[in-house]
Structure 1
């Protein structure tokens, strides 16, 4: 029998492929019929070998030190090992990749760099040479899957993507493994509170992101407030009353910093006659906001609902798995031209409450085709609802809130622009000038999609009045003018000044980053870019990728480099000392805190993906940088010796919440450094290792991945079973006492994560003798355990 093998990223994705292709048979770790075998990876099945695997430990020793460094394997010398908790699923993939029944292989993992990498790791280790194709889709609807199967890409078409995936992994390993060990050996210590080493974690993306937060804090600390004065005057004209604000026509941005001058102007103009020297009215349009990419979605959800970046990614992934939205890990806010004929189907899928009225009106307009909607895309287009009707009442509240943002943003682009009547009056009194502005909504256009108070939010994030760039202060100014109606005066009209008021104000320091603000800063490598169209044009040189930035922020919180205070992020003493040390004492290491330099590395990685830069060339630049920094650390050690940094503060409730959240969804942090910290949680790759259901907000806690199918294991009254039991997975470990001991939840978590429990004391043999042992898997897929007396 000749069959086609499809390898998905996780079980939920495999089930969608099976449903679309009519595959109903089930095996232990795969689905099948006469034409297809569909199996899955459960995220990364492999991990890069630790540095010790490349060392002569008898010569360099087991203790971290600079004399063991650098460890820089050649591109073709990096080795990967099979993770113990996913070994069984790897064996399933290996079996089918080598099977004589399989004549063609289709990579069906997520269509991005990390999805390609987790497949490529297995493909390379197995050494498969069968014909290979790539399934490239942006949603899991039946229509999208079948269309993708009819338009498979040749395996060679994604070789650049595979190379870039390896480049990301290898570079993060080089930076993280070498520099974390190097910095910790010089600046680390033993944390007597936590009873573990105070590791100084360094990462290619993590460290420059920390630098953004620390430098913002320094700006705030060094800020000196400046007092200034605003003068406003009330005028009476024949047509009505209005107010204006003083300005200097020779220097538009001039601030009055001298009270005496302000009082002199106020005294000169108080009660004086005035004259209208300019009165202009014009109609201006405001285009709908751009569609969402992951960053803008996160910023909006954070502002509206207080969601963390990690939370938004978790919710979006769950909506994608439920076929509610298109692929969420996208950095693009546009749609491709070939989607124009399909957009009405996406719109019709929203024809239910609370969107039905808006959908009906949107259908009276033509399909949106302007450049703010249809434009050049990157690997994936903007996030929009799919062609599947979503049962909103079945979604958890947080998912429903996020879907509502996406649905309304998609609806908005079908509607015409909003139109305003904008009025500007310049009044002269006693040779002083006052400006008055008003803005009246004439036609709501796309804003009718939003509730009245919500209409300001998308406007503030993006859109352009008559195509011009709009800065934050411009947005605030427009909001203040909103619904301000000025009298219909004309140039040359006489007025009377009825009141003059002086308001004392002071300049404000820069604001601390929120998670949303930080994501935008990471995207633009620290540059403040408010205009969304320009932001789309400058992508590619940011810190990390759209899918990995949330995990970077979570890692900084968990490692004690930053803390969250309400919605803002502040550096800890440990984080501040690290950046200060690098900036002031380690000039070669300064590239680690250069957002522009790290952004350039990300840009070079994109060139590897396009085939315009060889992977070996990219890695040679990384290796040279690591060598320079290690040599600099040696020189520092000779001159100053070991100088421990501050230890991380006690974990806050926010940090504990972050740690709990990160156990649900494992996204690539683009930093491999914490693999070297035995007490720190390992950063495990780019995807959800315990399947799509782990992203759900409600329901029992997922204790770890099911050894049989990869879904989450949950605790029941009588045992620990797979949450996928309704679909036929029979994995269970019963709570029946074993030699007098019942397996606890913590012990089960350890089993699922490490393949064994911690040492359990007080087992009773049949003769009544007490003994201590660990429990390990005898047959993981069937939940069978055995004792292990070697506790190392």
Structure 2
């Protein structure tokens, strides 16, 4: 009758399948019994070959350059090579797939696009014709595996998923390989600190994500604070004192609603609606004067439980609560999934499907232990959570919830934190909304209006379980009991001088949200659902994209926030100001649209060929623009990455979409004619040599005089100065003005950051010294 071969994504997954199906026999690279053979892939066994595979190197040479590009293999022409580290397991799979003993095959890799792709690469390479089915499950519990095995999907249902996987892989290769070589050939140079080329890495998702961080930094740098004042009065009644804030009565009259008037008030601050002079005039007008209560409104409001976690909201919450990076959250969640503690984590859905309702109590019963026993028992006595905030339309995978397994205390401290977050969020859905009493009072003094608001917690509801609400909420009202037309006195009044604040830098959680919303930080749940599928990257890859930006020196992690490096800012400025056709690389909307089109490929709505046509058209256009730039302007090296990159100097291994798609770094040997490499020097004069009056040019290891053969000794070495290496623009300013512009990001021996100018100490010898701002004379510690 033959056996069924199940191919898992990794050994740990295969072990769970074997345990559930009673497969106890073990061979080299597989488990086996009379009915099943269970083997695994160890992630991607193959990788796409480099661009040189498709080149005639005798004609174009081995050195990176625009003349070698573009390289755009057609569908069916992309070539793979087996990773040396996976050869042994590949041979196992090859033998099993060709075995006469195997009658049918089940793809049991992770139920997502990347999981499908890594299986598909093996399947298509070996060309097996055996009957093929898909195991589609959301957890690794025995119950879920058995149910999935009883409902195997025919392969044609996931053909679109496989095509989208190939589209992601091929499209990222086209962008990454071609544009990284093209940008590096024009804007790269030799990094003397690392003693290797300064590669200018470009990626379909990576580059627009970098643009989000850079543009936020520019908004902060260019922010001009607007001064405004708030007027706060304290009123005295027979029943007690209370405070109120002034607001524009005309706007109240035009809108008729204090909530809308208050929103307009926030906007009007930028327009100097209440400046200092007017604030002082109102203060003098109302100080010590009698007033009256002209409106008292009481109402009740409710706050429903938060939505269940998807990977994005889990990352955002863990980032705020514990300072965890996006890649760390995914790694912890994946570990919890493999330990059968939670359902599949790489999901972009906050809901559960209707067919899960009968099973939910079994998930609760697994929590009747330890710190959650009280809440689980209470929840079991409550009705099932059938509301649309829990049961709703889902995507490929439902929300992250705890499984039906009782979890032994074998979790690491970080795993415990993430698991408890998921458990408490799940438990909160069984409890009613929190109830509040809201009171709004409008007081008028001398025809000036003051607003007082109070929100009192009446019933905590779900907040008893998950303490995500305000911990300072008080169930006791503080405002005195007032009535309309009641007379009050103005006990005191003060003008509070304030300034508008610049936008905040992104945390990793904030950036993940911005990536999900195609560059927009979307709070509204309905709008978030509409934008799903049109963001930068996928829910499973965004953390790795951020990790790559850190690793490649485009951004730095400082405390909880992300800051772009000089290299990152110069790249985005170059694209925005000098390369109009390449601006699609930094368009979050354009990249989000491409992600949406991949989703259309997955659903079978458009063919893969149409997606690839758009990719190829974009790559050709940018390469042509780079070719024109080279002919017009030559080569212009960008800044180096900082010496210490990010907080985790390691390459991401989580997903091929955001793994390095860079070609191998270009060689930096001298050319045969004895001139310096075109990637390490621009050859343009940056200014006048202070020693002999000749021109100063950039070289591989420094900025030197063009008259060096005549004996001029002038040179500015590219050695780091308190962690910063001089850029061509800074040298040009130094030669012209005798000082650089203000340079931020110097780092003292004590590890403190500081900003300073660099000025000449001895121009002819190239010696420099720091000069500090007069209004900020703090020197490095």
Instruction: Give the TM-score normalised by the residue count of structure 1.
Output: 0.81
The verdict on how the C-alpha distance between 1:342 and 1:480 changes in structure 2, with shifts beyond 3 A counting, is closer
- Deviation, 1:497, is 1.0
Alignment of 1:220-299 (within 5 A): 220-251=220-251, 252=261, 253=265, 254-255=268-269, 256-299=273-316
- Deviation, 1:138, is 0.2
Candidates 659, 670, 681, aligned match of 2:658: 670
Correspondence for 1:455: 469
Cα displacement string for residues 648-670 of structure 1 (whole angstroms, at most 9, x for unaligned residues): 11115xx2x4234x46x432343
Alignment of 1:124-523 (within 5 A): 124-251=124-251, 252=261, 253=265, 254-255=268-269, 256-391=273-408, 393-451=409-467, 454-456=468-470, 485-523=478-516
Correspondence for 2:65: 65
Contact 1:11-1:42 at 8 Å conserved across structures: yes
SS of aligned partner of 2:186: helix
The verdict on how the C-alpha distance between 1:626 and 1:672 changes in structure 2, with shifts beyond 3 A counting, is farther
Using the TM superposition, name which of 547-556 and 355-364 deviates more. 355-364
Pair 1:87-2:87 in alignment: yes
SS of aligned partner of 1:676: coil
Alpha-carbon distance in 2 for matches of 1:509, 1:538: 27
The verdict on how the C-alpha distance between 1:540 and 1:481 changes in structure 2, with shifts beyond 3 A counting, is farther
- Deviation, 1:109, is 0.1
SS of aligned partner of 1:355: helix
Gaps of 5+ in 2: 252-260, 668-781
Alpha-carbon distance in 2 for matches of 1:15, 1:614: 37
Correspondence for 2:609: 616
SS of aligned partner of 2:618: helix
Cα displacement string for residues 690-720 of structure 1 (whole angstroms, at most 9, x for unaligned residues): xxxxxxxxxxxxxxxxxxxxxxxxxxxxxxx
Contact 1:205-1:671 at 8 Å conserved across structures: no
Contact 2:188-2:637 at 8 Å conserved across structures: yes
Contact 2:434-2:462 at 8 Å conserved across structures: yes
Contact 1:168-1:670 at 8 Å conserved across structures: no
Alpha-carbon distance in 1 for matches of 2:107, 2:475: 53
SS of aligned partner of 1:18: helix
Cα displacement string for residues 553-585 of structure 1 (whole angstroms, at most 9, x for unaligned residues): 010011010111111111111000000000110
SS of aligned partner of 1:164: helix
- Deviation, 1:364, is 1.9
Alpha-carbon distance in 2 for matches of 1:534, 1:484: 35
SS of aligned partner of 2:249: coil
Correspondence for 1:475: none
Alpha-carbon distance in 2 for matches of 1:344, 1:516: 32
Contact 2:169-2:657 at 8 Å conserved across structures: no
Cα displacement string for residues 236-280 of structure 1 (whole angstroms, at most 9, x for unaligned residues): 122221111110032331434421110111111111111111101
Correspondence for 1:714: none
Correspondence for 1:725: none
The verdict on how the C-alpha distance between 1:314 and 1:60 changes in structure 2, with shifts beyond 3 A counting, is same
Alpha-carbon distance in 1 for matches of 2:41, 2:337: 18
Cα displacement string for residues 353-375 of structure 1 (whole angstroms, at most 9, x for unaligned residues): 21111111112211101111111
Alpha-carbon distance in 2 for matches of 1:547, 1:57: 37
Cα displacement string for residues 702-754 of structure 1 (whole angstroms, at most 9, x for unaligned residues): xxxxxxxxxxxxxxxxxxxxxxxxxxxxxxxxxxxxxxxxxxxxxxxxxxxxx
Using the TM superposition, name which of 420-429 and 358-367 deviates more. 358-367
Pair 1:635-2:635 in alignment: no
Correspondence for 1:737: none
Alpha-carbon distance in 2 for matches of 1:511, 1:480: 26
Alpha-carbon distance in 2 for matches of 1:354, 1:41: 38
Alpha-carbon distance in 2 for matches of 1:485, 1:70: 70
The verdict on how the C-alpha distance between 1:612 and 1:553 changes in structure 2, with shifts beyond 3 A counting, is same
Correspondence for 1:780: none
- Deviation, 1:193, is 0.9
Cα displacement string for residues 292-349 of structure 1 (whole angstroms, at most 9, x for unaligned residues): 0001001111111111111100100000000000000001111111111111111111
Cα displacement string for residues 536-555 of structure 1 (whole angstroms, at most 9, x for unaligned residues): 23211000000000000010
Contact 1:180-1:676 at 8 Å conserved across structures: no
Correspondence for 1:779: none
Alpha-carbon distance in 2 for matches of 1:64, 1:483: 71
Alpha-carbon distance in 1 for matches of 2:127, 2:509: 43
SS of aligned partner of 1:75: coil
Alpha-carbon distance in 2 for matches of 1:187, 1:523: 30
SS of aligned partner of 2:401: coil
Correspondence for 1:605: 598
SS of aligned partner of 1:100: coil
Contact 2:208-2:591 at 8 Å conserved across structures: yes
Contact 2:232-2:243 at 8 Å conserved across structures: yes
Alpha-carbon distance in 2 for matches of 1:324, 1:27: 28
Alignment of 1:743-782 (within 5 A): none
Cα displacement string for residues 117-158 of structure 1 (whole angstroms, at most 9, x for unaligned residues): 000000000000100000000000000000000000001100
Alpha-carbon distance in 2 for matches of 1:534, 1:369: 22
Alpha-carbon distance in 1 for matches of 2:388, 2:294: 39
Alpha-carbon distance in 2 for matches of 1:401, 1:456: 20
Cα displacement string for residues 154-183 of structure 1 (whole angstroms, at most 9, x for unaligned residues): 011000000000000000000000000000
Contact 1:181-1:676 at 8 Å conserved across structures: no
Alpha-carbon distance in 1 for matches of 2:108, 2:120: 11
The verdict on how the C-alpha distance between 1:552 and 1:56 changes in structure 2, with shifts beyond 3 A counting, is same
Contact 2:189-2:199 at 8 Å conserved across structures: yes
- Deviation, 1:75, is 1.0
Correspondence for 1:112: 112
Contact 1:174-1:626 at 8 Å conserved across structures: yes
Contact 2:425-2:466 at 8 Å conserved across structures: no
- Deviation, 1:635, is 0.2
Alpha-carbon distance in 2 for matches of 1:374, 1:676: 48
Q: Which has the higher contact order (CA 8 A, sep 6+)?
A: 1
Alpha-carbon distance in 2 for matches of 1:348, 1:416: 20
Gaps of 5+ in 1: 458-478, 680-792
Cα displacement string for residues 406-444 of structure 1 (whole angstroms, at most 9, x for unaligned residues): 000000011000000011000001100000000111001
Contact 2:510-2:521 at 8 Å conserved across structures: no
Alpha-carbon distance in 1 for matches of 2:657, 2:462: 38
The aligned length equals 650
Pair 1:658-2:648 in alignment: yes
Contact 1:324-1:386 at 8 Å conserved across structures: yes
SS of aligned partner of 1:77: coil
Higher gyration radius (CA): 2
SS of aligned partner of 1:540: coil
Contact 2:548-2:659 at 8 Å conserved across structures: no
